[in-house]
Structures are given as structure tokens and as C-alpha cells.
Amino acid sequence: MSRIRVITGSAGGLFLKVPPRFHSRPTQDRVKQAIFSSLGARVPAARVLDLYAGTGALGIEALSRGADRVTFVESKAPCCKTIEENLAWCKLSGTVIKQDVAIFVQSCKNPHDLILADPPYEKERRDLATHEVIRAIAPLLAPGGLLVWEHDSRNIWSDPAPLTVLKTVRYGETAVSYLAVKE
């Protein structure tokens, strides 16, 4: 079983519970650390949405670093239970919603400063601009908001309109893309 820890902040150093392997593929600590180092001052006081939340590790890291609020969206009941247990263990609070992400993003009306997405992905070459939720996410970003999308490093972005890819960073087989609404 993987061991995931909160890197820093109020819950820094605590290890999180991980549901059975078939329910989740948690973000590696080194990738999570790189993401949050890159985000820096964007995290404190941010309104965060953690899509495909799995263990809740990304959203919990954001809360630990001072995010104002985090909404965790996950379709699998064992993962939702794990997120709630991890929040309690870390003495943090967030909202856990058990719902398919594609359905959630169609109905959500609240703006978010930061959206973290680590969807299940195949290890193959694919155009991410065709992912079912990409275009639906744009209206959920507050002005100046940022989408952080974790994916297989072989994936490409053709045209994720109305979003634009600011940068993509590779960590072996994993890549992280940072997107914002086109101005």
C-alpha cells in the first residue's frame, strides 16, 4: 500500500490513509510537492476544487497550506469515506461530494480560484482537449483562476478552448499541466 503524506503546513508530516489500490492512484509526493511549490502564494485563502479527489491528498495539502475552503468531488464511496477520515485525522474541514465529476461540473455555479484534477488515465497517447470535463471547467474558474491537470506524460493538448495551457511539466510518466481561461 502506498504511503502519502501531507508535505507542509498545519498538517505537515501526517500520513494519509489510502483506499484499496483499485479505487485510487494517488499523486506521488514529489509531484505534489512540485505542484504546490509552483502554486506558491495562490494557495493561502484560495477557494479550491479537488476533482477526482481519490484520497483527498491534493485538497488536504491545499487546506494544510492555508486554502480558505476545499470541495472534494469523487464518485467512489470508499474514496469519499477515506477523504472524510483523512480530513478528520488532519483536523481540517472540507466538503466531500460523492458524484461523477462530469455531472458535478455541469451543475456547479461557484467560482474557484484553484481547481486540482487528477482524473483516472490510460498510459497511452491521447488528446486531452477532448476530455469530457475540460470545457465545462472553464466557467468554474474565478477571474485569474488556475486549473492544474495531472495526466500521462504522453498526452497532448490540441486546443482546450476556452482554456489555454500555460505550461506542462513532466515527472517521468506523469505530467502536470497548468491551464487558465484565455483572455
Give per-residue pLDDT as tens, 119-177: 987 777 889 988 889 989 999 999 999 999 999 999 999 999 999 999 999 999 999 99
Instruction: Say what the pLDDT of residue 35 is.
Output: 97
Q: Distance between CA 85 and CA 88 in Å, rounded?
A: 5
Instruction: Say what the pLDDT of residue 28 is.
Output: 80
Q: Give the residue-averaged pLDDT of 49-53.
A: 97
Check: CB of residue 27 under 8 Å from CB of residue 57: yes
Instruction: Say what the pLDDT of residue 22 is.
Output: 55
Q: Distance between CA 108 and CA 99 in Å, rounded?
A: 12
Global pTM reads: 0.94
Predicted confidence (pLDDT) per residue in 35-46, tens digit: 999 999 999 999
Kindly tell me if the per-residue pLDDT of 58 is higher than 60.
yes
* Domains, the chain, ordered by start: 4-181 (3.40.50.150)
Phi–psi pair at 90, nearest 5 degrees: -85, 0
Do you know the residue count of the chain? Answer: 183
Q: Distance between CA 173 and CA 156 in Å, rounded?
A: 13
Q: Give the residue-averaged pLDDT of 89-115.
A: 97
Instruction: Say what the pLDDT of residue 25 is.
Output: 63
Q: What is the CA radius of gyration of the chain?
A: 15
Q: Tell me the CA distances in angstroms from 25 to 18, 56, 92, 164, 182, one per residue in order.
A: 9, 11, 22, 26, 30
